[in-house]
Amino acid sequence: MAMPRHDRARVLLRQLYRTEARRARQFRYALLVLDLLSIGWIVLASFLPLNTLVLTVDCGLGLVLLAEFIARQSASARPWRSLVQPLELADLLGILSLLLAPLLHGALGFLRVLRTLRLLHSVRLVASLRSDLPFFRRNEEATLAAAQLGVFVFIMTGVVFETQHHGNPHITNYADALYFTVATLTTTGFGDITLQGRLGRLLSVVIMLAGVTLFLRLAQTLFRPNKVRFPCDSCGLQRHETDAVHCKACGTMLRIPDEGDG
């Protein structure tokens, strides 16, 4: 008996989102490109006046992202449980802010920065990067720490821009907001741009505290001795020296893959 069309579609989507086949990895890389393009548009739109063209692109991009969101939920074994996950809800709010932009004239524009939470948060994508890129495999922790810091900077830049550009004459686009965010995050605090109101002060505190934490984590991964991730079959120890032959915890023989490039 032939499988119904919608069941075949769900099987295909699960293969694309959840397997390690070559086509599936290429599909997930394409999704990463889509996420980067959507973020690029969010930044570019901050420099443009809110006109019909901008609202049309917002709506069109929202439709594309909504289609991908529905496909992702359809690929899940339990769509409703997946839908209530914090990252999924944040992504849906970001998509709705784009779709409703023509009706609300950008009033919910600040929600679109939530889309950045999807960047490099896919376990499958990380697995693909690890298998496809030797550089990522050797520097996985440092790369992810840098990516998390970058995502935080972008999110806080978006929040600063959306909460301040209507009433703060010093913040008129993402470049101004980025300048303030980086200056505050590094605790440099030049003082030429400040956030207005109690909310602005609280936001500055969040940027400083969280930013310093992420900076310290990145520094730790950069200066810690370089190790590779390879679970020991006996004791489960994850991190080993790059040239390790035996597990230092239990002595079990390791077979860590090596490209043989010296």
pLDDT in the model for residue 77: 80
Residue 73 CA: distances (Å) to CA of 67, 102, 237: 10, 26, 34
Write 196-202 long-range contacts (CB < 8 A, 24+).
196/164, 196/167, 196/168, 199/163, 200/163, 200/164, 200/168
Q: What is the pLDDT of residues 134-190, one digit of tens each?
A: 777 777 777 778 877 888 888 888 888 878 888 888 998 888 999 999 999 888 878
pLDDT of residue 262: 46
Helix, coil or strand: residue 27: helix
Regions in the chain scoring below 50 on pLDDT: 262
- Which of 103, 95, 88 is closest to 41 using CA atoms? 95
Residue 241: strand pairing partners: 227
pTM of the model as a whole: 0.70
What is the greatest pairwise CA distance in the chain?
Answer: 71
194: phi > 0 → left, psi -120 to 50 → alpha, else beta; which? beta
Contacts of residue 139, Cβ cutoff 8 Å, sequence gap at least 6? 226
Q: Running DSSP on this structure, what letter comes out for residue 253?
A: B
- Residue 194 burial (10 A CB sphere; 0-12, 13-18, 19+): middle
**In the chain, where are the structural domains located?**
1-137
pLDDT of residue 105: 64
- Would you state the pLDDT for residue 70? 92
pLDDT tens digits for 177-186? 999 999 998 8
